[in-house]
């Protein structure tokens, strides 16, 4: 039963590390934000687009980079890993409780 607790705690630590790596990846992404209003000129034909380093996509938003997409996937994986690890710890706790009830 101690092994079950250790497994749950280890899984939760792994999920935390994965979430931290994904969060670091998100904070390091550059040029992914919506262009600021000053970089876009009035939407009239022939108007200058300003000095925007990244032209917006057709929807008016910058397209996500693969690093950002992978970070989002890793965050979802970390969430599920943490939930599964919590379930393992709860199951181990229930087993210890049942064993104590039987012994008492």
- What's the predicted TM-score (pTM) here? 0.61
Structural contact between residues 95 and 103, judged by C-beta atoms closer than 8 angstroms: no
Lookup: tokens for 36: 């600021």
- 51, 39 Cβ separation under 8 angstroms: yes
pLDDT digits (tens, 9 = 90+) for 3-62: 989 999 999 999 999 999 999 988 876 655 555 555 555 555 555 555 555 555 555 555
What is the spatial distance between Cα 89 and Cα 9, in angstroms, rounded to a whole number?
Answer: 7
The pLDDT value recorded for residue 67 is: 79
d(CA 45, CA 53): 20
């Amino acid at each position: 039963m101690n092994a079950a607790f250790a497994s749950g705690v280890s899984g939760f630590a792994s999920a935390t590390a994965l979430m931290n790596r994904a969060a670091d990846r998100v904070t390091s992404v550059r040029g992914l934000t919506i262009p600021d209003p000053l970089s876009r000129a009035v939407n009239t034909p022939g108007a200058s687009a300003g000095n925007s380093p990244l032209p917006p996509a057709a929807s008016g938003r910058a397209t996500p980079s693969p690093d950002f997409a992978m970070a989002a996937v890793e965050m979802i994986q970390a969430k599920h890993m943490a939930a599964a690890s919590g379930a393992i710890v709860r199951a181990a706790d229930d087993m210890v409780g049942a064993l104590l009830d039987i012994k008492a």
